[in-house]
Amino acid sequence: MTKGSAPRDSDWWKSAVVYQIYPRSFADSDGDGIGDLRGIIGRLDHLAELGVDVLWLSPIYPSPQIDNGYDVADYQAIDPLFGTLDDFDELVAQAHARGLKIVLDIVVNHTSDQHPWFLESRSGPASPKRDWYWWRPPAATTGGPPTNWGSYFGGSAWQLDPASGEYYLHLFAPEQPDLNWENPQVRSAVHAMMRWWLARGVDGFRLDVINLIAKDPALPDGVIDPRTGFANGEPHYANGPRIHEYLAEMRREVFQGNDSGRILIGEMLSVGVADAARYTDPGRGELDMVFQFEHVVLDHGSHKFDRIPVELPRLKASLNHWQEHLGPRGWNTLYLSNHDQPRPVSRFGNDRAFRVESATAIATTLHLMRGTPFVYQGEELGMANPPLTELGDLRDIESINYARQALTAGEDPETVWHAIRTGSRDNARSPMQWDASAHAGFTTGVPWFPVNPDHDRVNADRQRRDADSVFAHYRRLIELRHRNPVVVRGDFTSLYPEHPALFAYRRSWGGETLTVIANWSDRPVPIPADLRQRDQSLVLANDGTDEAAETLGPWAVRVFAGSIAGNPDRV
């Protein structure tokens, strides 16, 4: 099978690879230090060369940028920081000309507090849009916030509006008020907006925290966490009562029966595998795939910045569980990296002694599982976490809020900075490293976030010319998915799940197998004898071409193709 000849048009995305662009950190064309749409247009050839199929753009809409664009003030325009609608149309045309689809990030659990809908809603209890958001009087018992829920970014999830004496709900920052999806006008406004983008040529949507939209309208209190003084309200708003109804309605109203070549991807907090199987069952007409968080919260202790070590068997158990239990109809996203996660080579690999080896071993392990792989910008170069040493280095609202609060509360600064260095979302947001020049070719101005000083060694320019680079390996990996139906269709069997250093599994389909054996450690590991079958051929490796090697070096990975002789399924 070659690229473009996907198995069935209706599920083309199973053989696709998605590349996420965080526009403000990707490429700056006008020297203001912030990436923009024309910067992306200028780098499309890098993406075409990499071989990805779909580009997902983090938000590009007008926004006060309290949460870097995840606070949208106008859903149908482009923030002047990033360019104009004409630039956007050109980006779509140029991407399509290279066979790249465009997916937009849709943030509709909440708007910005500067969105005209909210300004109208806030104008008073009689506003026709009052009910578009969650307004409530103070709690009768305490005179304070209507529920005891905490926000994801710290503090209460409720903000008092002094003019009316009522509170509004914001699960994220106070500048991100939550929309009330119970109101049918809200839903149809969102659907109309999404249809408008489809008419402009986009191919689908990534739906931000979409399983939080269906709150239990009774808004019950949760159980208070003594550390913060607030409750986690998720039991009352994650995967809430009407969520499946809202998602099916969205697909129906937005795609209007024409799903061909289009995709809906949902980001979902606290979603279990059984729920995800329902959300992605094609028969239900909801989503094509979901981002779940189970494997990226394993290193969280009592909270995100309480960092705990994760032994490999735990990580494997989580990923394997999703591989094995999503069922024949559900579909995974495969990701370790995005704009909210630390860099995988720093988090799971060894970004000093074995950067290239660990970046490629980790990528191979992830990409050949069952699901659609997502590559976050710079991951294809093995970009590492940037140095973060003082408050002035931080840009992310979540990290700044945490560091300030923890340092003010007298927590040990070493522990706080360890948590920031290993957990902060800023780790993902340092600018893309294009070349070895000043500011890594990202901007001619002063970058909004300093480039990682390692860009003299780690950059796209150098890696495109090096057949042993992380970039070259990603190209081979993506090509393998496009070419080999076992990667797309195969069943998944985990191998040696308890092994402390090996990450191994087998995919099989139509009598063919692919066996992936990766060493996720800094020490050599013997390949178990039963995994070294003679009739297999090496199809991909990051440690040379000796098929008969009996040991995997640190962070080495090998992929073998074979066949199950006499398998009745063989086609």
Decide: is 426 part of the binding site for ligand GLC (CB under 6 A): no
Is 286 among the catalytic positions?
no
For ligand GLC, the binding residue among 67, 178, 299, 426 (CB under 6 A) is: 67
Our CB check for ligand GLC shows the closer of 70 and 75 to be 70
Our CB check for ligand GLC shows the closer of 334 and 504 to be 334
Our CB check for ligand GLC shows the closer of 68 and 463 to be 68
Our CB check for ligand GLC shows the closer of 12 and 56 to be 56
Instruction: Write out the binding residues for ligand GLC, residues 280-339 only, by CB under 6 A.
Output: 339
Q: Of 396, 331, 345, 547, nearest to 22 (Cα)? A: 396
For ligand GLC, the binding residue among 70, 237, 417, 503 (CB under 6 A) is: 70
Q: Could you say which of 208, 249, 275, 379 is catalytic?
A: 208
Contact 139, 147 (CB under 8 A): yes
Residue pointed to by tokens 């020490």: 523
Cα 521 to Cα 431: distance, rounded to the nearest angstrom: 28
Q: Of 241, 228, 212, nearest to 149 (Cα)? A: 228
Decide: is 21 part of the binding site for ligand GLC (CB under 6 A): no
- Position of minimal CB gap to ligand GLC: 70
Decide: is 434 part of the binding site for ligand GLC (CB under 6 A): no
CB of 397 to ligand GLC, least distance (A): 8
Cα 222 to Cα 149: distance, rounded to the nearest angstrom: 7
Decide: is 340 part of the binding site for ligand GLC (CB under 6 A): yes
CB of 378 to ligand GLC, least distance (A): 16
Contact 458, 433 (CB under 8 A): yes
Is 208 among the catalytic positions?
yes
Cα 60 to Cα 105: distance, rounded to the nearest angstrom: 8
CB of 506 to ligand GLC, least distance (A): 33
For ligand GLC, the binding residue among 208, 275, 286, 512 (CB under 6 A) is: 208
Contact 74, 66 (CB under 8 A): no
The vertex-334 CA angle with 342 and 423, nearest 5°, equals 15
Our CB check for ligand GLC shows the closer of 207 and 250 to be 207
Number of residues forming the site for ligand GLC (CB under 6 A): 9
Burial state string for 285-294 with b = 16 or more CB within 10 A and e = fewer than 16: bbbbbbbbeb
Q: Extract the tokens encoding 291.
A: 């981002």
CB of 424 to ligand GLC, least distance (A): 12
Burial class (CB in 10 A: 0-12, 13-18, 19+), 131: middle
Decide: is 172 part of the binding site for ligand GLC (CB under 6 A): yes
The vertex-357 CA angle with 354 and 363, nearest 5°, equals 125
CB of 130 to ligand GLC, least distance (A): 23
Decide: is 107 part of the binding site for ligand GLC (CB under 6 A): yes
Q: What is the DSSP letter of 304?
A: T
Our CB check for ligand GLC shows the closer of 79 and 166 to be 79
CB of 352 to ligand GLC, least distance (A): 28
Our CB check for ligand GLC shows the closer of 291 and 434 to be 291
20 DSSP β-pair partners: 56, 376
Decide: is 374 part of the binding site for ligand GLC (CB under 6 A): no
Measured in whole angstroms, the distance separating CA 172 from the mean position of its chain's CA atoms is 18
Q: Extract the tokens encoding 560.
A: 């073998």
Our CB check for ligand GLC shows the closer of 339 and 475 to be 339
Residue pointed to by tokens 């991100």: 176
Q: Of 292, 300, 293, 244, nearest to 265 (Cα)? A: 292
Q: Could you say which of 28, 113, 267, 340 is catalytic?
A: 267
Contact 290, 335 (CB under 8 A): no
CB of 452 to ligand GLC, least distance (A): 20
Q: Extract the tokens encoding 109.
A: 């659990």
Decide: is 209 part of the binding site for ligand GLC (CB under 6 A): yes
Q: Of 151, 97, 32, nearest to 398 (Cα)? A: 151
Binding mask 238-277 for ligand GLC (x = CB under 6 A): -----------------------------x----------
CB of 240 to ligand GLC, least distance (A): 17
Contact 199, 254 (CB under 8 A): no
> Which residues of this protein are in contact with ligand GLC, per CB under 6 A?
67, 70, 107, 172, 208-209, 267, 339-340
Active-site residue set:
208, 267
